[in-house]
Amino acid sequence: MRPSSAPGGLRLGVLASGRGSDLQSLIDANVAGKIQSRVVVVGSDVPSAPALERARRHDIPAGAVTPDVNLKGDERRREHDGRVLALLTENRVDAVVLAGYMRLVGPALLAKFPQKVVNIHPALLPAFPGLHGQKQALDWGARVAGCTTHFVDAEVDHGPIILQAALSIDPRDDETALSQKILAVEHQLLPRTVHLLEQGRLRIEGRRVRIDADASWAQKYPVLPGVLYGTGY
């Protein structure tokens, strides 16, 4: 089904490197009327990323933007960032969601969308940033895991936290089982984050994000058993 284009929402550009289930959660939330914002373009650094196919199935323009292997270091990053930025601006994006995007976004992109670039990470930041947050938590012997949405800055998984939700780690959980449990929560937190963003309810004050919360989604929509939804959800 094609996402609706209700007035008032943001035009979202989603960057994704993989499967795209977090992307799907945004498409579904728009179709269900939970958010007004709609995904208007999907970009990926991985040409074979299923996220691109998923976007096209929903009639959303999608394109691979791969780094130029003939360039090196900073120049390669700048040039790549410029083409990603062009894809977003050509599609008149208002806000950018990193949904399983395995690259840092550069300063030009961040400057173009101030306080409008968000990321989702499968761990309770600042613990376990970077790749395989779920496995890092298991290997560390953590008892609690979860996910975080945050504004993006120049560092990996570092910007001001928007929402978090936590769940208890079952000693029998392996990386796959834990990742699945966390992913189900991600699919709630990410649309809610966009909802707060589109409603202008987020204000960054230093490291903190002040949320001018409305009716909690935990009251409005089904919650998952055993999950602790942090304030703002």
Residues annotated as catalytic (active site), given as ranges: 121
Segment contacting ligand GRF (CB under 6 A): 14-22, 39-47, 213-221, 222-230? 14-22
Closer of 96 and 99 to ligand GRF (Cβ): 99
Is the CB of residue 97 less than 8 Å from the CB of residue 121?
no
Q: Is 121 in the site for ligand GRF (CB under 6 A)?
A: yes
Q: Residue 79: helix, strand or coil by DSSP?
A: helix
Closer of 6 and 131 to ligand GRF (Cβ): 131
State the sign of the Cα–Cα–Cα–Cα dihedral 120, 38, 95, 79.
positive
- CB of 20 vs ligand GRF, minimal distance in Å: 5
Compute how many residues bind ligand GRF; rule: CB under 6 A: 14
Segment contacting ligand GRF (CB under 6 A): 11-19, 34-42, 73-81, 211-219? 11-19
Q: Is 60 in the site for ligand GRF (CB under 6 A)?
A: no
Closer of 82 and 126 to ligand GRF (Cβ): 126
**What is residue 123's DSSP assignment?**
S
Q: Is 129 in the site for ligand GRF (CB under 6 A)?
A: no
Distance, CA of 71 to CA of 161 (rounded, Å): 34
* C-alpha to C-alpha distances, 13 to 60, 87, 104, 182, 229, nearest whole angstrom: 10, 9, 16, 23, 26
- CB of 182 vs ligand GRF, minimal distance in Å: 7
Closer of 19 and 76 to ligand GRF (Cβ): 19
Q: Is 20 in the site for ligand GRF (CB under 6 A)?
A: yes
Q: Is 44 in the site for ligand GRF (CB under 6 A)?
A: no
Q: Is 120 in the site for ligand GRF (CB under 6 A)?
A: yes
* C-alpha to C-alpha distances, 16 to 95, 96, 104, 105, 114, nearest whole angstrom: 14, 11, 12, 12, 20
Query: Residue 107: how many CA atoms within 13 Å on its side-chain side?
Result: 3
Distance, CA of 49 to CA of 195 (rounded, Å): 26
Q: Is 18 in the site for ligand GRF (CB under 6 A)?
A: yes
Closer of 40 and 52 to ligand GRF (Cβ): 52
Closest by CA to 168, choosing from 149, 181, 183, 150, is 181
Amino acid type, 200: G
Q: Is 99 in the site for ligand GRF (CB under 6 A)?
A: yes
Binding site for ligand GRF (CB under 6 A): 16, 18-23, 99-100, 120-122, 183, 186
